[in-house]
Amino acid sequence: MFDSFGQKITGIFDRLTRRGALSEADVQTAMREIRIALLEADVALPVVKDFIATTTQAAIGQNVLRSITPGQMVVKIVHDQLIAMLEGRLSEPRDGGNQAPTDNALNFRTEPPAVILMVGLQGSGKTTSTAKLAKRITERERKSVMMASLDTQRPAAQEQLAILGRQAKIQTLPIVAGESPLVIAKRALKEAKTGGFDVLLLDSAGRLAIDAELMAEISAIHAATKPIETLLVADALTGQDAVNTASHFDQQIGVTGIILTRIDGDGRGGAALSMRAVTGKPIKFLGAGEKLDALEDFDAERLASRILGMGDIIGLVEKAMSAAEMQDMEQLAAKMQKGSFDLDDFALQLRQMRKMGGMSGLMGLLPGVAKAKRDLQTSGISDRDLLHQEAIISSMTRRERRDWRLLNAKRKIRIAKGSGTDVPQINRLLKQFQQTQKMMKMVGGMNKSAAKSMLGGGALGANLGGAMGGGAMGGGAMPDMSKFPNIAGLGGAGGSPPDLKALLGGGGGGSPQMSQNLNKMMRDLARGPKRGK
């Protein structure tokens, strides 16, 4: 997602790191590069100018003198400023990580129904986001939600929301043909009141911010329904226009928050910074896929780290933690201790990887793997390979799964037939499995809790390495396996996700030694896989 931007900035800092000291001129040079990087990331020009000015100010002076290495200091300053900007604070850089972040949660503190009005340009993703949000509020807030589409412009827009409502099991306002948006809104409010709904989500028609007639219409709807939240839905791929759209909508109807959609694209996401800066309103959610549960919390720190190419180690750990069944983890941890990791366990890991968004999803979360990810894409390795691997294991007998050494040529042919694969594929899988098994044995000596956190972050990395290193790329680039245990080491040594957070240095509390390791790891990863062994 934000890889290219991250890579660019990492490149700049790499150059800085190689120098002994950081002078004012160095900062200026770096800022010129950062300006280009930000503009290429589609951050709007006025926002870039302001960011550069503030960041330069923060970078020149005593801050630099106190740093461990100049490069690291600039990374930290830019990172902190990005976070500050994304959180709507653009004063001094964060000083100790103890400041409370802006409240991104939805506001329901009103007499029910709490009305949430969705607005935005055509095609920004309002209808899909409305359904995603309704599902989320129902599931996470345990509130009863009704949705109503006020979109009488686009053909079948109301029907689209009705279908999504059925899919997500959310009540939608029955469609009455010929009603005007304002009339529908009023009827929806009445129905939601009498029906005793906690929340009413209003999906409006897409409109240009300069379309006076439609903007007057939405103002009237706003006045009539008094929404407690007015969310601007905007495309993460938006260019310089992001500031215009955001400020127009904000000035004319007053938005309370932003939902940024298509964050799963390969755009650089500068629009997030632009819109946040120009409206001063929080980005509340990120739309990250076509499925109805693909709505993520906005986390400035994670986004900024991602922008800086530091990847999203925290995200990786969290994702791993939530997707893996705790029970499975206990079992795996126990097995690791005993050193009896078998193909069944391997299959379990494969399934977990798939749950977490597959290879590409995971790779996006790891730091500095933009290049590896591209290699991955061009080499054609895909989530389908994970499925194939699962199929192979499923085609084995129970005994074979417990002891892979049983697999002679004849058995392999049988398995290949059964799983619709071929023998070389099975051999590759076995090689990966052995590598993972070796890893597991290595960490078997650790205590149980460390081992468990390994499963969340580290072992997964090992598996990832295994999957890639196992030759699935067809003789292409071969990643250096030692890099992945490095990640594993972080997970194990830290013991728990909060420690990892500190490692990133964003919170300001990370130990220098660990940051250095992280930096080195990032560089190694960014340099990409080594050629075959």
Partner 1 sequence: MNFAEKLRQNLAKSARNLLGGLKSSFGGGKIDASTWQELEETLIRADFGPKFAASMILALKSDRELAHLDGIAEKIAAKIEMILSPLAQPLSLAPHNGKKIILVTGVNGSGKTTSIGKLAFSLQQNYRQNNGGKNPKIMLVAADTFRAAAVSQLQIWAERTGVTCVTAAAASDPAALVFQALDRAKAENYDLVLIDTAGRLNNNQGLMDELGKILRVIKKHDETAPHHSILVLDATIGQNAINQVTQFQAQAALNGLIITKLDGTAKAGILVDLAERFALPIYAIGVGEGIDDLHPFDAREFARNLLDLPPVA
Stretch that binds partner 1, among 11-19, 159-167, 445-453, 499-507 (CB under 8 A): 159-167
**Number of Cα atoms under 13 Å in the Cβ half of residue 59:** 31
Residue 231 Cα to chain centre, angstroms: 20
The residue (of 358 and 495) whose beta carbon lies closer to partner 1 is: 358
* 474 belongs to the binding site for partner 1 (CB under 8 A): no
* 174 belongs to the binding site for partner 1 (CB under 8 A): no
Question: Which residues in the 49-88 window bind partner 1 by CB under 8 A?
Answer: 49-50, 88
Question: Which residues in the 302-331 window bind partner 1 by CB under 8 A?
Answer: none
**Angstrom distance (rounded) from CA 162 to CA 209:** 26
**Angstrom distance (rounded) from CA 313 to CA 501:** 8
The residue (of 48 and 185) whose beta carbon lies closer to partner 1 is: 48
**Angstrom distance (rounded) from CA 178 to CA 398:** 63
Using CB under 8 A, pick the residue from 12, 30, 31, 47 that binds partner 1.
Answer: 47
**Angstrom distance (rounded) from CA 473 to CA 381:** 6
Question: Which residues in the 391-410 window bind partner 1 by CB under 8 A?
Answer: none
The residue (of 251 and 397) whose beta carbon lies closer to partner 1 is: 251
Which residues are CB-contacts of 321 (< 8 A; sequence separation ≥ 6)? 456, 497
**Angstrom distance (rounded) from CA 144 to CA 146:** 7
Binding mask 340-369 for partner 1 (x = CB under 8 A): --------------------x---------
The residue (of 202 and 234) whose beta carbon lies closer to partner 1 is: 234
Best CA proximity match to 367, nearest among 315, 322, 321: 315
The answer to whether 86 and 278 are in contact (CB under 8 A) is no
* 160 belongs to the binding site for partner 1 (CB under 8 A): yes
* 288 belongs to the binding site for partner 1 (CB under 8 A): no
Strand order of the β-sheet with 295-297 is 171-172, 145-149, 199-203, 114-119, 229-235, 257-261, 283-287, 295-297
Residue environment code for 362-381, b if the CB has 16+ CB neighbours within 10 A, otherwise e:
bbbbbbbbbbbbebbeeeeb
* 237 belongs to the binding site for partner 1 (CB under 8 A): yes
Using CB under 8 A, pick the residue from 6, 125, 492, 494 that binds partner 1.
Answer: 125
Unique residue bearing structure tokens 């050494």: 405
Stretch that binds partner 1, among 122-130, 299-307, 411-419, 432-440 (CB under 8 A): 122-130
Strands 283-287 and 295-297: antiparallel
* 382 belongs to the binding site for partner 1 (CB under 8 A): yes
The residue (of 306 and 501) whose beta carbon lies closer to partner 1 is: 306
Smallest distance from partner 1 to CB 112, Å: 28
Smallest distance from partner 1 to CB 165, Å: 9
Using CB under 8 A, pick the residue from 80, 235, 318, 390 that binds partner 1.
Answer: 235
* 124 belongs to the binding site for partner 1 (CB under 8 A): yes
The residue (of 228 and 376) whose beta carbon lies closer to partner 1 is: 376
> Positive or negative CA dihedral for 504, 509, 515, 518?
negative
Best CA proximity match to 478, nearest among 385, 336, 403, 379: 379
What count of residues does the chain have?
A: 533
Using CB under 8 A, pick the residue from 30, 64, 150, 157 that binds partner 1.
Answer: 157
The residue (of 60 and 237) whose beta carbon lies closer to partner 1 is: 237
Q: Which residues bind partner 1 (CB under 8 A)?
A: 35-36, 39-42, 44-47, 49-50, 88, 90, 121-125, 153-157, 159-164, 167, 208-210, 235, 237-245, 247-248, 261-262, 264-268, 270-271, 277-280, 290, 360, 377, 382-383
